[in-house]
Amino acid sequence: MILEVLKYPDARLRRKGEKVASVTPELKALSENMIETMYDENGIGLAAPQVGESVRLIVLDTRPHDDEGKPTTEGLTELEAAVQQPIVLFNPEIAVAKDKTQYEEGCLSVPGFFETVDRALYVEVNGLDANGQPVTIKTDGLLAICLQHEMDHLEGKLFIDRLSFLKSSKIKKRIEKHGYPTAEEAAEERSEARERRKAAKETAE
C-alpha cells in the first residue's frame, strides 16, 4: 500500500520515533508499505516519521539499476555490495562512525532541494531486521550516508537542519512563501547548485 509522504513544514516530521519493543505483524506490514512507497517515490530511503508513524523504523535501497531497470551492484563499494537490500531496520543505532565525507543530499520530505551535507564516511549500525532478529550493517559509500540521513528523521531532524543557518533559512523561507518547485525547476536548481560548488572549489584551489 502506498503511503502519504509528509513534507516540511508538517509538524509530525519533528516527532522523535519511539523504540520498538518487538516486531509485530503490524510493524512488519508497515515496513513493507514503506518499501513500496519508497520505490513509488523513486527514493532510496524512508523513515517511519515521514509517513506519520513515530516509531524507530527505516527502510533503504541504494542499489543502482541497469538498463532494464533491475537492481545491480555495479558501482557499489565492496562493503555496500555485501549488504543485502532492500534493508528494513528497527531501532537502528550507530555503534561506529569513522572519517568524514560530503554528499549532495535531497529528501522526499523536502522535494526539489539539494545541498551538500557533512557525514561520516564509514558506519556500523545495529538494529533489528524485518523478523525482529539482531543485525549489524557495516558499510561506507552512499549506503552509509543514507543510513545517517534516515536515522536523523527518527530524531525529528531534516537534512536542511544540518546546513548553515543562512542556507537553511533560505530554503525554509522559499518553501513557506512559494511552495515546492516543479520537477523542471528542481532539476535546474540542482544543476546551478553543482556549478556554484564547482566554481567555488576551483577558486579555492
Q: If pLDDT is split at 50, 70 and 90, which confidence band does 204 have?
A: low
Instruction: Look at residue 201 and tell me whether its pLDDT is greater than 60.
Output: no
What residues pair up with 118 in beta bridges, in sequence order?
102
Domain of 74, CATH number, reads 3.90.45.10
pLDDT digits (tens, 9 = 90+) for 15-27: 999 999 999 999 9
User: Could you tell me the residue range of the domain that residue 97 belongs to?
Assistant: 11-204
| Residue 38 in grid coordinates | 519508497
User: Total structural domains in the chain?
Assistant: 1
In a domain, 5, yes or no: no
Residue 170 above 70 pLDDT?
yes
Residue 2 resides in a domain? no
Average pLDDT over residues 169-176: 95
175 in a structural domain: yes
By three-state DSSP, how is residue 4 classified?
coil
Beta bridge partners of 146: none
User: What percent of the chain has pLDDT above 70?
Assistant: 94
Q: How far is CA 65 from CA 22, 33, 42, 185, in A?
A: 33, 21, 12, 25
3 is a domain residue: no
70 confidence band (pLDDT: 50, 70, 90):
very high
Reference 82, options 121, 28, 39, 136; nearest CA is: 136
- Catalytic site residue 189? no
Across the range 53-60, mean pLDDT stands at 98
Instruction: For the beta carbon of residue 62, count every other beta carbon within 10 angstroms.
Output: 21
Q: Is residue 122 part of a domain?
A: yes
pLDDT of residue 200: 61
Q: How far is residue 111's CA from residue 181's CA, in Å, rounded to a whole number? A: 8
| Chain mean pLDDT for the chain | 94
Cα separation of 16 and 24, whole Å? 20
Q: What angle do CA 89, 92, 96 make, to 5 degrees?
A: 125
Average pLDDT over residues 95-115: 96
Per residue in 125-167, pLDDT tens? 999 999 999 999 999 999 999 999 999 999 999 999 999 999 9
Among residues 78, 115, 150, 155, the one annotated as catalytic is 150
The amino acid at residue 130 is A
